[in-house]
Structure formats: C-alpha cells, structure tokens
Amino acid sequence: MIHPIVKFGAPGLETPSKPVKAFDEKLQELVTDMFESMYAASGVGLAAPQIGVGLRLAVIDVSLGKNPEAKLVCANPDIIALEGEQREEEGCLSVPGFRGYVMRPQYVTVRAQDASGKEFEMRGEGLLARAFCHEIDHLNGVLFIQHLSMLKRDLIKRKIRKLKKAGEW
Ligand code: NI
C-alpha cells in the first residue's frame, strides 16, 4: 500500500524514532509499503517517520528500482565508520521542491538489521553513503535543511510558510 509522505512541519518528523523490536509479519508489511511508497515518489530512500511511523527503520535503493540487489532494509542502523567527504546537492521527499548542498562523508559503514532481524554491515560510497547519512538523520529527527546555512534554511522555511498559507503544502 502506498502511503502519503508527510512534509516538513508534520509532527513526528523532527523527533527521534524508537528502536525496532519485533521483526514480525507487521514489520514485513511495513517494509513492503515503504518500498512501494518510495518508488511511487521516485525517491532513493525513505525513513519510517516519513510515513508517520516512529520506528528506526529505513529503506534505500540508489538504483531507483532498476537493480533488485540494490534494495536495502536498515532497521536500527548505526554509522560505525566514515571516511572522506563529498559536497553534493541533496533533497528530501518530506521537503519537496527544495534542494541544497550538504557536506557528507564519501564512505560510510553502517551496522544494521535486515527485515528478518539479522545483523549486517555495509560500506557505501557516494550516493549510497549520502543516503545512509540522510536516512539515519531522519531516524534522529534531523532533516537535511538543518545542515544548510542558517540563511538558506530560513529562506526555505519562509517559502514553506507561504506555501502553507496558500494551502499548497
Ligand atoms: Ni529525506
């Protein structure tokens, strides 16, 4: 089932999520829904709080559905190593229409659990490293705009306020 993606300003988007404890059927369903919702929105990553679920769970596919092996489920993820840096434009499905340059590590190693609860480690480079950081930020209640300069962030917030007033957010 495709869920609507909540936008900046929604409650829950800026609060830390709780650990996933039950790797049951309900969780498998949530993971399926998250992939469907992410692909429907043409995103490369989606965190559970973005569909209103406060769990430390994210799905990532930097191939946009082209490579089944690129599908990643990260439950309770932690960054255990990082290396180098990259500065690229970043966006977020919860802040549609806005992008900004964010500095991220070039390599990120994550330790997480898959949909069945099995622990794994994975080293990502470039876009995947960026996705790991971006999605784990979501689980900590942090949005990419918090990494922008105050000037740029305030500009985006002002524009969003205007969109809200016009009923377009
Ligand atoms: Ni995002």
- What is the tens place of the pLDDT at every residue in 56-107? 999 999 999 999 999 999 999 999 999 999 999 999 999 999 999 999 999 9
Going from the Cα of 143 to the center of ligand 1, the distance in angstroms, rounded, reads: 7
Taking the C-alpha atoms of residue 58 and residue 67, their distance in angstroms, rounded to an integer, is 18
Strands, E assignment, 71-157: 72-83, 86-91, 99-104, 107-113, 119-125
Going from the Cα of 43 to the center of ligand 1, the distance in angstroms, rounded, reads: 9
| 135 has catalytic annotation | yes
Going from the Cα of 148 to the center of ligand 1, the distance in angstroms, rounded, reads: 14
What is the pLDDT, as a whole number, of residue 11? 86
Going from the Cα of 74 to the center of ligand 1, the distance in angstroms, rounded, reads: 15
pTM of the model: 0.97
Sequential DSSP letters for 22-61: --SHHHHHHHHHHHHHHHHTT-SEEEGGGGT--BSEEEE-
Kindly list the structural domains of the chain, giving each domain's residue range(s) and its CATH number in brackets, ordered by start: 25-165 (3.90.45.10)
Q: Could you tell me the strand order of the sheet in which 119-125 lies?
A: 45-47, 57-60, 72-83, 107-113, 119-125
**Position 122 confidence tier, pLDDT thresholds 50, 70, 90:** very high
**Position 169 confidence tier, pLDDT thresholds 50, 70, 90:** very high
**Are 119 and 144 a contacting pair, CB within 8 Å?**
no
Distance of CA 82 to the CA centre of its chain: 18
Catalytic-role residue among 14, 88, 135, 168: 135
Q: What are phi and psi of 139, to 5 degrees?
A: -70, -20
